[in-house]
Structure 1
Amino acid sequence: MTSGTPPRIFDERRRQARAERSRRLQQRQDAPRWLAEAMAEDALDRIAFMRLTPARALVAGTGADMVAETLAQGGAEVTMVDAAGLDHERPYPFGGFDLIVSLAVLDTVNDLPGALIHQRAALAPGGVLVASMVGAGSLPRLRAALLGADGERPAARLHPAVDAASGAALLQRAGFARQVSDGWTLRLGYRDAATLVADLRAQGLTSVLADAPPPLTRSGWARARAAFLAEGDDAGRVIETIEILTLTGWHDARPD
């Protein structure tokens, strides 16, 4: 490995398999979509607050359909891409967008600074990037339950993630003229870790780590579920949290 090569944290084949499984599960009538709905609503609120009226927009990721529909109703020419089918660590095959909305796309790229550089390059001068991803500190109760279930040799079963403090530096490194990095919390109530894991699987949020850990044994999974439930309130409901990191960056109005 050369000094300029980013570490291989995530596996592309596992990412593709995860995306395909999520597509199948999302076809069910009762499929969970709380991440898509929350991310899309937040992105649209930010776009409205900034009074953006893009002529051309690129939308990718979880909840892209909801964002694309709203932007199109406002008169934008919208390009919606399958996030799993686009290599975000290479230059995009299109550009000149006034707005790029990227939702749960950058969570599992190995070269995050490089991916941000490519997204900036796809913006027209003066264009804006709104990129949300699952951030550091997410799923603390599930994480603790899984670590405890592994005993003396815990395995990494959930992804490492970026925190808000690092977000602005990443945008600056990618060449954005202005940078805003902020986090917000999605709170979820569950009575069983198995239901939470099923919801994560259906929304494409399970692990794609290159170094896949061994599966939990039946007894280990039983310990994890018991530890998770022990965090519940008097009604037996565990409040789990997902921290969402949103990066907003502006392409300098001066052409490169």
Structure 2
Amino acid sequence: MTQAPLQLFDRRALEAHRSRRQQEALFLHYMARVEAEDRLSLVNRSFTAPAVVCPFPEVWERFGPEAKIVADEEVLDLEDGAHDVVIHAMCLHWANDPVGQLIQCRRALKEDGLLLVMLLGGRTLHELRSAMAEAETILLGGLSPRIAPMGEIRDLGGLLQRAGFALPVADLVPLKAEYRDVPHLIHDLRGMGETNALAQRLKRPAPRGLFQLADHIYRKHFANAEGRLPATFELVCLTGWSPSDNQQKPLRPGSAQMRLADALKVPESKL
């Protein structure tokens, strides 16, 4: 009997967390929409058949009447070759199979269609991770899985190539928010459905005093001059194109017609 692969995330818990969302806490999702709109406005092309994969459709309902809003599920409700742009918005960091998600998006694109992915990157909540790790080590003598791992930008960019996209580009937008204390930060994370949904998370309540100690450590190492707690959020943006014969191709090594020194009009260095 073939054993099912281990799942990093508990999708049932994730959906339960998202169902308790609060609109005022979805600021990262609205910022992602603005960022997507800005980036699409810079592309010298008109898109007429967009699709948006997202956990919160109300954030994207004004994106355009022609846009198809697709629920963030393991199998995406996307038709092959139906769209000229697909936006995968703020949910790839919760995917058990991120490459599979991107492959589904590529198949849904027409030839030379654009994929735009917005997700949280590796340094997101690094202050909270550090404070919680130190607090758990002091109280429990070890660590438990509490905050989901998030990919570094160099690794996330490689996902596009693995999924078969051409001309992949990865960049990030660093964001900062400030909070009164750790409970205030966790309240916001609950409101945006971003609390712990790891499959291997502890299923029992946190030890008494854990969050108070984490708040003390967070404040000791990261508090600003006003006594507020800064929280880092990395918004990673990935772009790639479905393959087409009309796209620019890199030149073959050794095919240049002019030496670099001649092009720059400088003497050639001989080492």
Q: Is the 8 A contact 1:168 1:180 kept in 2?
A: yes
Matches for 1:1-256 after TM superposition, within 5 Å? 7-22=6-21, 25-26=22-23, 31-61=24-54, 65-72=58-65, 77-83=66-72, 86-87=73-74, 90=75, 92-95=77-80, 96-151=82-137, 152-213=141-202, 214-230=204-220, 231-253=222-244
Partners of 1:172 and 1:163 lie apart in 2 by 15
- 1:69 partner SS: coil
- 2:44 partner SS: coil
Q: Deviation per CA, 1:104-154, whole angstroms, max 9, x where unpaired?
A: 111111111111111111111111111111111110111111111112211
- 1:150 partner SS: helix
Shift in Å, 1:51: 3.2
For structure 2, the residue ranges without an aligned partner over 5 or more in a row are 247-271
Paired amino acid for 2:49: R
Q: Percent identity?
A: 29
Partners of 1:254 and 1:6 lie apart in 2 by 37
Structure 1 pair 65/49, CA: closer, same or farther in 2 (3 Å)? farther
- 1:17 partner SS: helix
Please identify the structure whose Cα radius of gyration is greater: 2
Partners of 1:180 and 1:68 lie apart in 2 by 27
Shift in Å, 1:234: 2.2
Q: Is the 8 A contact 2:172 2:234 kept in 1?
A: yes
Instruction: Tell me the TM-score normalized by structure 2.
Output: 0.81
Partners of 2:223 and 2:214 lie apart in 1 by 13
Shift in Å, 1:226: 1.4
Q: Is the 8 A contact 1:92 1:118 kept in 2?
A: no
Q: Is the 8 A contact 2:48 2:84 kept in 1?
A: yes
For structure 1, the residue ranges without an aligned partner over 5 or more in a row are none
Shift in Å, 1:34: 1.5
Structure 1 pair 162/6, CA: closer, same or farther in 2 (3 Å)? farther
Shift in Å, 1:70: 3.6
Shift in Å, 1:7: 4.0
Q: 136-145 or 245-254, which moves further after superposition?
A: 245-254
Shift in Å, 1:252: 1.4
Q: Is the 8 A contact 1:39 1:62 kept in 2?
A: no
- 2:15 partner SS: helix
Partners of 1:115 and 1:32 lie apart in 2 by 26
- 1:180 partner SS: strand
Partners of 2:226 and 2:56 lie apart in 1 by 32
Q: Deviation per CA, 1:224-246, whole angstroms, max 9, x where unpaired?
A: 11112222122101221111211
Paired amino acid for 1:170: L
Cα RMSD (Å): 2.2
Partners of 2:200 and 2:132 lie apart in 1 by 17
Instruction: Tell me the TM-score normalized by structure 1.
Output: 0.86
Q: 31-40 or 242-251, which moves further after superposition?
A: 31-40
Q: Is the 8 A contact 1:116 1:171 kept in 2?
A: yes
- 1:71 partner SS: coil
